[in-house]
Structure 1
């Protein structure tokens, strides 16, 4: 190298500036059905846009063959709310990579941890609580509960659960455990792909008193004796060991699954391929989309 340090550049994932794009030039990659339109998440997004506008711009990629058209990678609900409201265009981020599954998996789902951080950021920016509650379509009491949701939960457990479908009640139960036990509980939840409050309550019931925070002993579980609770503790510890052993053995299979899912996702993200499948093999296209939308990390 002649003593000279090699300089490497990292390409940007987005174009330097946003672009206001007409809605009729944006091609969705999935259909927002009637059930989704009736969901609380759709109502929440509609209320947020009505109150404070579009905070997070949709992500689009330039169409590979049709000049002036764009593929919608992230923000399907936001775009549909704007269409329903009679808007004609929206400010978008222009991605330099059209791998739709990447954005759909990493951006579009607002988990409890992400929502908590968004609320704190809005409060730091001096957004009034009343306005923020209206934007989220919730009352002030619920907003304040969400704001305090992660107080007492260790950062490592939060990191494990940051993109998981965890309710606020789960965090309330985790707070009753010491940090190390919180991490073990979060790893067990992720390993078993179970995030319900009832499941975490069972983990709490099987937690030895030494791993509970002071004055946070779980209430006696109805129908269980002390011996049965002790048995649950031993079985939970065994389950933890089995999960860790499984994690060491499934790596190669998981890698192959990720690669296969990525290939299928690229196929259905290609407008020409998706159009051909829709015309000739609609059932196969439906199954391919299910595969592309599979959460490999939770599978």
Structure 2
């Protein structure tokens, strides 16, 4: 798999997902139908400028995050094709369609009655609209509220509003439970979040940064993009990271780039960093750490569990 680049990052997690993946655990993400029968949800329904006259039965998802959301809210059986980066859940019908370079003709060949995208590359929305194919654009979330809103929108458009509401409620409850008893520290623990071995990171102004903030952590990347010129995704130098001496290093490049606590320790000058000395280099699942869907709860849990081991 190719490594991440600044341009790819801008089009993905902050502005989109780092759609590089690996093996997903084989668990079903379909949510059981909620009482009240969402299947009987009234149509037509309208979300923004999009109106669907009837429930879509041939959905094409060109966003790994949207794919996860669709299956989680119980609309998986209505999804007939997903892009080549949608690797979760494992039963998602992966195709050779691209979300990065979408091709209107190839998408139309799937005869979809709804297409879900996270980026309007090459004005693909206009192209599909001209072909009379309904399109929902679900851009990368900047906040958790964006995630909740997208889940709600997908629930309405697919005929699963109750299931979507249930997923949002569960996420909020789980996040509240994970953060309610965090240790009270005189000084916040600091961290470095690594997007790739080229040392690109994410500041607190990004979606990923907001998840770390929920855990009460301080981001060493913030000083490197204080003026926002890097869009929240600065490239740090080894010297800056070593000098900042973070308490934790979180690796979101374990799948794409085979980074581990051992490879970090072997980097020149890193052996004296607190995170390395105290065995607080944490490998994350690249996919979970780069998407803004329901599995952000798992990301937050991994962060909270790791930092909870440090005495207050």
Does TM, scored on the shorter chain, surpass 0.5?
no
**Higher helix share goes to which structure?**
1
TM-score (norm 2): 0.27
Asked which structure has the greater RCO (Cα within 8 Å, sep 6+), the reply is: 2
